[in-house]
C-alpha cells in the first residue's frame, strides 16, 4: 500500500494528518479542484490518494483551514523564509566615543568626524566623558561637551539618552535618524 504514513512526529507546531482534531476542515490550495468544506476523513483520503500530507494551516478559523502539501518541503520553505528575514534584518551596532573633561578642540573635531561617520553607517553612538580622580569636579564641563557633541551631530542623529552621570562616566546615546 503506497502513500505517506498517516502520522509523523511533529515539532513544527502544525497539526498534520491524523493529528487534526476538528470534525470538518476547509481545503484550499493549488492542487485542489473543488475547494470547500470537507470532513476530516474525506480530506485525509484525498491527501493519501495524492501521496501528500493534510496540514492544518489556520487552526483558529471556523472550520480550520487545511492544505494538501508535501509537509517536509513546506517546512523547508518556512525555514528558508525565516532565514532570509533574519539576514535582511538591520543589525545596529553601538560605537563608543570617549572624551575627557578637558578634551581639546582638535581632538573634539576628530571624534566628531568619527561620530558622524558611525551615524551615517546606521550605527548608534555612545559618547561618554570619563572622569579620572578629582576630575569629577568638572562634571558640568563634561555635560556641556556632550551637549555640544549632540548639537553638532543633530543633522544625522536624535538623542536617545540625555547625558547622565553613572559612577565616573557621563554617558549619552545617539541614534541615527531614519533614512528617507
Is residue 71 within 8 A of residue 16, CB to CB? The reply is yes
As its CATH architecture, domain 15-85 has Roll (3.10)
Residue 126: its pLDDT value, please? Answer: 92
Residue 10: its pLDDT value, please? Answer: 58
Looking at the predicted structure, is the pLDDT value of residue 56 above 70? yes
User: Could you tell me what percent of the chain has a pLDDT over 70?
Assistant: 92
Angle at 179 between CA 174 and CA 180, to 5 degrees: 140
Average pLDDT for 119-142:
85
Q: Is the whole model's pTM more than 0.85, yes or no?
A: no
What would the DSSP string read from start to end of 7-54? -----SS-EEGGG---SEEEEESTT-SS-EEEEHHHHHHHHHHTT-EE
pLDDT digits (tens, 9 = 90+) for 61-87: 888 888 888 888 888 998 999 888 888
State the cell numbers at 149.
557633541
Instruction: Return the higher-pLDDT residue of 178 and 84.
Output: 84
In the chain, which segments carry CATH 3.10.20.80? 15-85
In the chain, which segments carry CATH 3.30.110.10? 94-176
Average pLDDT for 92-118:
88
Average pLDDT for 126-130:
90
pLDDT digits (tens, 9 = 90+) for 10-23: 566 778 887 888 88
Q: Which fold has domain 94-176?
A: Translation Initiation Factor IF3 (3.30.110)
Amino acid at each position: 500500500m503506497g502513500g505517506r504514513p498517516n502520522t509523523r512526529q511533529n515539532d513544527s507546531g502544525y497539526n498534520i494528518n491524523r493529528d487534526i482534531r476538528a470534525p470538518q476542515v476547509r481545503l484550499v490550495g493549488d492542487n485542489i479542484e473543488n475547494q470547500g468544506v470537507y470532513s476530516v476523513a474525506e480530506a485525509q483520503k484525498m491527501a493519501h490518494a495524492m501521496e501528500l500530507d493534510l496540514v492544518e494551516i489556520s487552526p483558529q478559523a471556523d472550520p480550520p483551514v487545511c492544505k494538501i502539501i508535501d509537509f517536509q518541503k513546506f517546512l523547508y520553505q518556512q525555514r528558508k523564509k525565516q532565514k532570509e528575514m533574519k539576514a535582511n534584518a538591520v543589525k545596529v551596532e553601538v560605537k563608543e566615543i570617549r572624551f575627557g573633561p578637558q578634551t581639546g578642540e582638535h581632538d573634539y573635531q576628530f571624534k566628531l568626524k568619527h561620530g558622524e561617520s558611525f551615524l551615517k553607517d546606521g550605527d548608534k553612538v555612545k559618547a561618554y566623558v570619563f572622569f579620572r580622580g578629582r576630575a569629577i569636579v568638572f562634571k558640568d564641563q563634561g555635560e556641556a561637551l556632550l551637549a555640544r557633541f549632540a548639537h553638532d551631530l543633530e543633522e544625522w542623529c536624535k538623542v536617545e539618552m540625555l547625558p547622565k552621570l553613572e559612577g565616573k562616566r557621563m554617558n549619552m546615546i545617539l541614534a541615527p535618524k531614519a533614512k528617507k
